[in-house]
Each structure stands twice: as structure tokens, then as C-alpha cells.
A and B are shown apart, each in its own frame.
Chain A
Amino acid sequence: MNLKSKFTPQSWPEHPELSTAEGKNKVVGFWIFLGGETVLFATLFATFLALKNKGPSGMEFTTQNLFELPLAFIMTMLLLTSSLTSVYAMYHMKNYNFKGMQAWLAITVLLGLGFLGLEIYEFTHYVHEGFTFSQSAFGSSFYTLVGTHGLHVVIGLAWIVLLMVRNAGRGLNLYNAPKYFIASLYWHFIDVVWVFIFTVVYLMGVIK
């Protein structure tokens, strides 16, 4: 059977992302990558925790007077919901419902864009207050940590949009099912990192 052959919902395998050798390799390889990503973010979290509120003497910026919880709360809700919508997308992928999958991925992308817009708003707001990347060690570590996560969001959005556009006329097959699956894994991982960012950076930041 060819990788690109057409299926019906009934002949579509139960685990399409793992039913080819290529798919299995992709999924395992992607988890190795995610293990590495965990270490990457750990270095940035460690740096942030060590340099939090540290800077030139007389610096007015601290996590307590900088961060606003309502904004972080809305961002958390957007990203958490987008995680669920990509679960829905993978549910339809496994049911061989291509349109359903694309629709849920489109919702995921919209929620991700909302998150990104709020993050850009937040950063420009801080910069206008004078809290910039080079203002202090605290500023550098904050923007590097949260900015790297933001970069992951950008990459994740571009990845999902590219997959949707590239396969729009093609439909689902065993060649692209693993691609969709690992893109959704990446999106979940972005949410995993955000859970720690909102807890460690924002919530622990505003505690006096």
C-alpha cells in the first residue's frame, strides 16, 4: 500500500501517526527534541530566577510593580483553550475527518494569534515604561525567557498554518498524518512551558 493512497473512515488506521515506520520515527524523534527543549527552557528559567529583580542600584523595576495579573490570566486562558482545540483537531484526524481537523486547527491558530498579540502589547507597554532588554540583568533574563517562549509560539503558528495550506487540497493520508500529530505535540509543549512561566514568572512575581 502506498503512503499517499486514499482512505475511507473505515480503512483509516486507529493510530495513523504510528502506523508507518516514518511516523513512528518522527514521533520518537520529536520527543527527544522535546526533552532537549525542556533543558533549554530550564536554563532560561534558572537564569531568570537568579537575576530576578537584580539590576543597577536604585532600579525602580521589580516583578511586583511591573506585572499585571489580569493580562497574564487572559493569556493563560487563550493558550490553554488553544491546547484543547488542537486536541479536538487530532480527534478528527484519527476519525479521518479532514475538514473537522482543519477547522479546529484554524481555531487553534486564532487563539494563538490572540495570545501573541497580548504578549506584544505587554512588551511594548514595558518598553514604554523604560523596562527594556538592556536596562538591567532582570530585563535581559525576563525578555530572554518570555521572548523565547513567544518565539516558539510564532514558530508553532507558522508550522500549523503551513501544514494547513500545503495539505489543503490533498486531504489526509499516512504521509501527512504524523506531520499534523507532531505539530500538535509542539503546540501542547508550548502550553506546558507557559504553565511554568505564568506560575514562576507572573504569579510568584506578584507575591510580596
Chain B
Amino acid sequence: MSHDVHVEARSEEEYKYNRRKASQAMRNQVTVFAIMIFLTFVAFATVQAGFSAFLVVPLILLFAGVQVALQLYYFMHLSEKGTGIMQFFMYSGMIVAFTMILAFVTIIWW
């Protein structure tokens, strides 16, 4: 494990630029949060409104998928560079997860 860490001191200009970039990124995160809140509201509202299950179920599953994607790519920073290996492991987990759920809701019954 390396204890030799080379940290380049940033110049004043670079520092200010990075700070501005970070606060812009934070504003984007708040926008993402607003979208997630909105999707949650719509999901609850469609269920409460009592539409047909054939319409509501795919819709709320889609909303859940979008919310999770936003959470993973923005809140958990997977949209940044150099996250390929992390995405590989996460997607591998998701493929196993999807297969398992598919099997349990289709070919297993009581």
C-alpha cells in the first residue's frame, strides 16, 4: 500500500475553477433530487388514482428504474470518468439479480 502520495498544490486560478465546477455539480445534484421527488410523487399518485394495474405496474417500475439510475450515476458518481470497473461489477450483480427474480416470478409457483 503506497504511503507516498503526490499531491500537486493547485494554483489560485485552478482552485477557484475547481470550486466553481464543484458548486455547479452540486446544483445538478439538487436538480436530480428534484426529479426523484417528482417521480416518487407521480408514482404514488398513479397508484392512488386507481388506474388499471396493466398501466400502473409497468409505469411505476419504469419510474423506479429511472430513480435508481439517477441515484447510481449522479449521487454515487458512476457518471464520472474511470468508473468502468465499478460499473462492471455492479452490472454483473444486476444481471444475476434480474435472472433470479425472473425465475421466481415465472417458473416457480405454489
Q: Which residues of chain A from 1 to 40 have any CB-CB distance to chain B below 8 Å in the complex? A: 1-3, 7, 9-11, 13-14, 18-22, 25, 27-28, 31-32, 34-39
What residue in chain B is nearest A22 (Cβ atoms)? B1
Smallest Cβ distance from A171 to chain B, in angstroms? 16
Number of A-B residue pairs at CB separation under 8 A? 154
* Assembly CA distance A47 to B110 (angstroms): 12
- Contact A199–B97 (Cβ < 8 Å): no
Residues in B neighbouring A163, C-beta threshold 8 A: none
* Assembly CA distance A42 to B92 (angstroms): 13
* Assembly CA distance A41 to B96 (angstroms): 11
Would you call A165 an interface residue if the criterion is a C-beta within 8 Å of the partner chain's C-beta atoms? no
- Contact B48–A69 (Cβ < 8 Å): yes
- A49 touching B104 in the complex, CB below 8 Å, given contacts A31-B89, A199-B61: yes
Q: Which residues of chain A from 175 to 204 have any CB-CB distance to chain B below 8 Å in the complex? A: 185, 188-189, 191-192, 195-196, 199-200, 203-204
* Assembly CA distance A2 to B104 (angstroms): 52
Instruction: Render B18-45 as a binary contact track against A, CB cut-off 8 A, 1 for contact.
Output: 1100100110011001001100100110
Q: Which residues of chain B from 28 to 87 have any CB-CB distance to chain A below 8 Å in the complex? A: 29-30, 33, 36-37, 40, 43-44, 47-48, 50, 53, 56-57, 60-61, 63-64, 67-68, 71-72, 75-76, 82, 85-86
- The prevalent SS among residues of A at the interface is helix
Would you call A63 an interface residue if the criterion is a C-beta within 8 Å of the partner chain's C-beta atoms? no
- A188 touching B1 in the complex, CB below 8 Å, given contacts A13-B7, A28-B86, A42-B100: no
Question: Which residue of A10, A18, A50 is within 8 Å of B15 (Cβ)?
Answer: A10
| Range of interface residues on B (Cβ < 8 Å) | 35 or more
Would you call A88 an interface residue if the criterion is a C-beta within 8 Å of the partner chain's C-beta atoms? yes
- Contact B30–A84 (Cβ < 8 Å): yes
Question: Which residue of B6, B50, B67, B93 is within 8 Å of A35 (Cβ)?
Answer: B93
* Centre residue among B18, B48, B64, B93 by max chain A CB count within 10 A: B93
Query: A interface vs B, CB < 8 Å?
Result: 1-3, 7, 9-11, 13-14, 18-22, 25, 27-28, 31-32, 34-39, 41-43, 45-47, 49-51, 54, 69, 73, 76-77, 80, 83-84, 87-88, 91, 94-95, 174, 185, 188-189, 191-192, 195-196, 199-200, 203-204, 206-208
Query: B interface vs A, CB < 8 Å?
Result: 1-10, 12, 15, 18-19, 22, 25-26, 29-30, 33, 36-37, 40, 43-44, 47-48, 50, 53, 56-57, 60-61, 63-64, 67-68, 71-72, 75-76, 82, 85-86, 89-90, 92-94, 96-98, 100-101, 103-105, 108-110
